Structure 1
Amino acid sequence: MTDSKENESPETHAPMLQWRDINALTLADESPCVTIYVPTTPVSNYREENRILYKDQVKKVGEALEQRDMDKYERDALLEQLESVGANEVFWTHQQYGLAVFASSKRFTVRRMMTSPAEAQGIVADSFHLRPALRAASNWMDYQVLCVSVQDVALYDANQDAIVEVDLHSDVPRGMGDALGKPDTSPNRKDSESAGSNSTDLKNYFKEVDKAIRAYHGNTIRPLVLAAVAEHQGLYREVSEHPNLLENGLDHDPFEAIRQSNLGEQAWQIAERATRDNIEQIIDRYNERAAHKEGASALEDVAYSATIGQIDTLLIDETARVEGSVDGNGRIEYGAAGDGYTDDVLDKIAEFVIASDGDVKFVPGNMMPTDTGVAAVLRYAMEPET
């Protein structure tokens, strides 16, 4: 086993699945690759069921590895890492709606997911099985909520059904005192009472928060909802350079909403329109580009464009499935999915797009501008056929 690991000790708390995780997994060239998905729940009463379901998949993986011609030490080391997940009972009390584990000789990645996989899976193959992860990381309803007050800062990943706090980087300020080196920020005073006390300090504070969020948590195309008191909304936007910050925000104390457990419900009312607008804008771009041969919908054309890095943004029908695979030259081999779930043309196309820094969105079929299951906005026009 090499020592290039992404999760050395996932004992009690696994990070949320992010876009950058998918990007790294698409570049994996080692074999075998172990993938495990387990539907979970944040309800702690079901932690034992979650643990048993995961152990069943590890057993399934162990049986599959036994059938492989591989070094016994490497096989045992892989299983030992898989068995270490959830060994601490506290781990199962910090779940969301899905658990994903990716293991090989070069990586060991454990992630929580905000969307539940359709079923528990334990797969050993020559590449990672990314279908559930792709859909979890590319959900069209995903957005973020940035909560800012004078005393605190918090960031949440969210969608229509769930909201999960992000573990902030240590360089993100946890309040104005932390950002400006002023220990007394009057924690008992409401933000609305201190809003106009020192606008220069507030601006500098908001600049530091904005800069840190972009630097350490900005690798996303998801809309960002600002949750802050009304008096701070305009001031924060005045200094912010975040490209995804929405025009409208949640304009009251976000930490009160957190205490009342309704931050997600309130933020979704703002984010829903933005997420739909985002997809509609992509569709408009596709229709405009397609008229100038800078859009593609034929599956063979999209597959080839994906392999040469030509696709800027890809829409995929979230329920569509095309059995088969795509080789490195963009050729589609149909009907090659022997077990029914490890090979899918659309998933493979999505992996190529992600590897070339393109954006992928899985959307409802009734929102798709084509009937082929895909719609690609190209970075440059397709070459005319000769």
Structure 2
Amino acid sequence: MHTLSRDSVKRLLAPQPGPCLSLYQTTHRTHPDNAGDIITYKNLVRRLGEALSQRAPAAEQSDLLAPLHRLAEDHEFWRYTLDGLAILLAPDFLRVYALPRPVPNLAIVADTWHIKPLLRHAQTVDHFQVLCLTRDKLWLCEGNRHEMYEMEPAPQVPRTIEDALGDQLTAPYLKVSTRGPGPTGGPGATVRHGHGDKSDELDIDIPRFFRVADRAVHEYHSRPGGLPLILAALPKYQAIFRKLSNNPLLMPEGIEIDPGSLNMEGLRARAWTAVVPHYHRETRALLERFRARHGTGLATDDLREMARAATSGRVQTLLVDADRQIPGRIDVHEGTIDLADNPSASGANDLLDDLAEIVLRRDGDVFVIPGDIMPSGTGVAALLRY
């Protein structure tokens, strides 16, 4: 299972040798609702095979579909599904995402992946990262209002005080062991062997560790991802870290508790409470920017004008109604749109999702926000570069 983030969705836009297979399915968390999930999945795989038969020889079809058939027999996997499933497959490439919200059942074979259902899960203004910090260890989590997971830190990010300081550690830290994993999946309680009479506040190694950690987290996570960072640490470590941090994305609101004492859901709930003021500020700022520019030529909520602007790379920021779909197609070369009468019409996509994908491919930002606060009635609004 892979984790879904804004950066991972953007990476999926890169060219990929085809054919590219996209499978989306609504799944269920508990029995008996999940009893039919495997049957639905096998039917979707069968539909992929039928579509693939028109594009690839039999031997290539068999090799490409083999991972999907193996997954159908993985009963442990099907015991722990969430509300949705996304699978993207190509030669020598497989990504499986468990999603916290349902998605339409889709089986698509094309030259590129069908990533539009993922945009709503990854391109929202409520995402954040949590830096879990103790006196000698750190771990990172990423999430939103609905879910959170532990991230794999970049190799350059030290996970322990030993990683950060190496042989420059002072005597009290030379031997450290851990009593098993903590409730969030991070490190558990720390046991020290040796002697030393310096208090936490006076220990020079803690600030040195925190300074190295701050630089690495900023360089390899905050700056590339652009997400707000919430610090989860005891109050005394909050004070030390904040005094030396140069990370502009570190939020003033933190979680003042030993992060190892919380399970993942408890950590997510506290993180969301901390990020809510930021979420409301950011959302208000986006809406105010749109209203200030509307009528000046630098903002639009007209769908046809927006399609032309998006395909020419003029859209800087796109706001999309999370609750709206508009069936049709966009000609990415001409910037024209063809509206369809209903979502099931032949060749029809969701125009809002198509717009979002086009904007992302041209280095714009996409924010999916609740429909009741959208600044327009068209389901979409855009801030233009020029």
Shift of 1:62: 1.5
CA contact (8 A) 1:312 1:376 kept: yes
- 8 Å CA contact 2:148–2:268 kept in 1: the answer is yes
Query: Paired residue for 2:88, among 98, 102, 108?
Result: 102
Extract structure 1 runs of 4+ deviating beyond 6 A.
42-48
Cα 1:169–1:52 shift into 2, 3 Å:
farther
Verify the 8 A CA contact 1:222 1:244 in the aligned structure 2. yes
Q: How many residues align?
A: 360
Equivalent residue number for residue 125 of structure 2 = 140
Distance 1:319 1:341 in 2: 21
1:351 and 2:357 correspond: yes
Match of 2:338 among 318, 333, 342: 333
Q: 1:43 to 1:244 in 2, by over 3 A?
A: farther
Q: CA deviation at 1:48?
A: 7.1
Work out whether 1:149 is the aligned partner of 2:134.
yes
Partner of residue 167, structure 1: 152
SS at match of 1:316: strand
2: CA distance, partners of 1:332 / 1:59: 32
- 8 Å CA contact 2:116, 2:357 repeated in 1: no
More strand by share: 2
2:251 aligned with 1:246: yes
TM-fit CA distance, 1:40: 4.2
Whole-Å separation in 1 of the counterparts to 2:27 and 2:51:
23
Quote the Cα distance in structure 1 between the aligned partners of 2:109 and 2:325.
Answer: 21
The question of 1:378 aligning with 2:384 is answered yes
C-alpha RMSD of matched pairs (Å)? 3.0
Q: TM-score, normalised by structure 1?
A: 0.82
Please identify, of 332-341 and 118-127, the stretch whose mean Cα deviation from structure 2 is larger: 332-341
Residues in 1 aligned to 2:208 and 2:348: alpha-carbon distance in whole angstroms: 50
Q: Is 1:294 equivalent to 2:298 in the alignment?
A: yes
Q: Which residue of 2 aligns with 1:363?
A: 369
Question: Within 2, Cα distance between the matches of 1:319 and 1:221?
Answer: 25
Q: Is the 8 A contact 1:97 1:116 kept in 2?
A: yes
Matching residue's letter, 2:103? A
In 1, the alpha carbon distance for the partners of 2:35 and 2:131 equals 33
Which stretches in structure 2 are left out of the alignment for 5+ residues? 178-189, 193-197
Structure 2 CA distance for aligned equivalents of residues 194 and 370 of structure 1: 57
CA deviation profile, 1:166-209 (whole Å, cap 9, x unmatched): 223333222222211134468347xxx954132x4333322322
Moved more, 214-223 or 352-361: 214-223
Unpaired runs of at least 5, structure 1? 1-13, 382-386
Give the structure with higher Rg (CA): 2
1:201 correspondence with 2:212: no
What's the counterpart of residue 11 of structure 1?
A: none
Question: Aligned partners of 2:304, 2:274: CA distance in 1, in Å?
Answer: 38
Task: Calculate percent identity across the aligned residue pairs.
Answer: 30
1:34 to 21, 24, 28: 21
Output aligned runs, 1:40-119, within 5 Å: 40=27, 51-66=38-53, 68-85=54-71, 88-92=74-78, 95-105=81-91, 108-119=93-104
